[in-house]
Every structure is written in C-alpha cells, then in structure tokens.
Amino acid sequence: MKWMGLITCALTVFCVTAGADTTPIDLNDFWGDPTVTVAADGTWASFIESSSFASVILANDPFLGDPEVILAGAGVSLQFEYDFQESVLGDDEFGVWVIDPNTGWSLGAPYEFFLGDSGTGTVSFDLSALAGMTGLGFQFQLSSLPGDTDSGSTLEIRNMRLVTPPVPEPATATLLATGLVFLVARRRRVMVA
C-alpha cells in the first residue's frame, strides 16, 4: 500500500510540466483594407464596416508575398479573441479561416469560424493535422450580407498567437529518476534484512 502512494506521488511529480509556449502573431504582418486599423505593436486590429465594399479584409497570404506566420505542428493551436458588434439594422457576418497554400482558398470546416450575430469569445484552431505544411495563410473578414441596410458593424481582433503544448521539465524527470532509484535500493535493503 505504501508503494502505491509513493508511485502515485512520483507520477504526479513526473507529470508536472513547463507552461505552454505562446508565440504572438504580429497583425502588422497582414494586409488590410483601409478601414482596418492595426495597433502599432500588432496585438489588435479594429474593423469598421464599409458602405463602399461588401467585405472588409485583414489577411496574411505567403503566396502573395506576406511573411509566413502560421507555423503548424503537432499539438500547435492558433488562437485569438474577438469582439463582433453587429449594428441594429445590420445583416453582417464575421468570418475567419486558414488559407490553403496550394489553392488560396479555405482549408475547410475544421479551420473556419463564422458568426452572424454580435458576440465575443476566443477562437482556437488545432493545427496538428497540418504539421509539415508550409505557406499557410489566414484571413479575417467582416462582410455585409444581401439584406444589410446599415453599415455600422464593428469587429476587434486581439491577442492572435500560436500555442505549443507544454513539455516535461528536464529537472523534474531527473528528480523523479533519482527518487525512484533511491526507493528501489531502500526497498531491497529492507527486504534483505
């Protein structure tokens, strides 16, 4: 019974990991329509619906010469926060998607998000299945739908980042191994005596 407690304690210590690695994405590396404002530090972007255009866009597409900022990998996720405020008489949609480097279009449902009513939240795309793909792009879009009669909708994007899963700390693994060797040696001495 004592061994079960020690093993549980050791496994708990072993499972302690370093925090996830977060890499911010600079929204200044994206091309934007004139009605999109991007913060000087690249941490947020603000969209204002245009009465002149059906869609207001902020996009990063390496195929068109933008820097490659979407780096997929095992366990890597792409995350950001949004605040979409649809005008009272508006019929608008907020949409985002990962751009396929081969076609220039969306990669499809697992890598898309659309919202037709006001809302705030966090979007997260798991990029694990795209590991090894290069040239991935990304697009934010605020669009007026056919029934739209008001151009007062707004959108704000904040804190876009790549999040890599945590990894075990080497010091924790070394400490665990040393402790287990000590426990086994002690147990053998007790059994021999």
At residue 154's C-alpha, the angle toward residues 85 and 54, to 5°, is 115
pLDDT the model gives residue 30? 97
Confidence of residue 13 (pLDDT cuts 50, 70, 90): very low
Residue 124 CB partners (closer than 8 Å, separation 6+): 77, 78, 79, 163
Task: For 34-86, write each residue's pLDDT tens digit.
Answer: 989 999 999 999 999 877 778 899 999 999 999 999 999 999 999 999 999 98
The answer to whether the beta carbons of residues 15 and 50 sit under 8 Å apart is no
pLDDT the model gives residue 192? 55
Q: How many CB atoms lie within 10 A of CB 34?
A: 10
Query: What is the distance between the alpha carbons of residues 150 and 168, in angstroms, rounded to a whole number?
Result: 52
Average pLDDT estimate for 175-186: 54
pLDDT the model gives residue 131? 95
Q: How many CB atoms lie within 10 A of CB 97?
A: 21
Place of tokens 């009513």: 117
* Residue 184 reports pLDDT greater than 60: no
Q: Is the pTM of this model over 0.85?
A: no
Task: For 96-117, write each residue's pLDDT tens digit.
Answer: 999 999 999 999 999 999 999 9
pLDDT the model gives residue 176? 54
Residue type, 20: A
Confidence of residue 12 (pLDDT cuts 50, 70, 90): very low
Task: For 119-174, write each residue's pLDDT tens digit.
Answer: 999 999 999 999 999 999 999 999 888 776 677 889 999 999 999 987 655 555 55
Q: Which domains are present in the chain?
A: 19-167 (2.60.120)
Three state DSSP letters for the chain: CHHHHHHHHHHHHHHCECCCEEEECCHHHCEECCCEEECCCCCEEEEECCCCCCEEEEEECHHHCCCCCCCCCCCCEEEEEEEEECCCCCCEEEEEEEECCCCCCECCHHHEEEECCCEEEEEEEECHHHCCCCCCEEEEEEEECCCCCCCCCEEEEEEEEEEECCCECHHHHHHHHHHHHHHHHHHHHHHHC
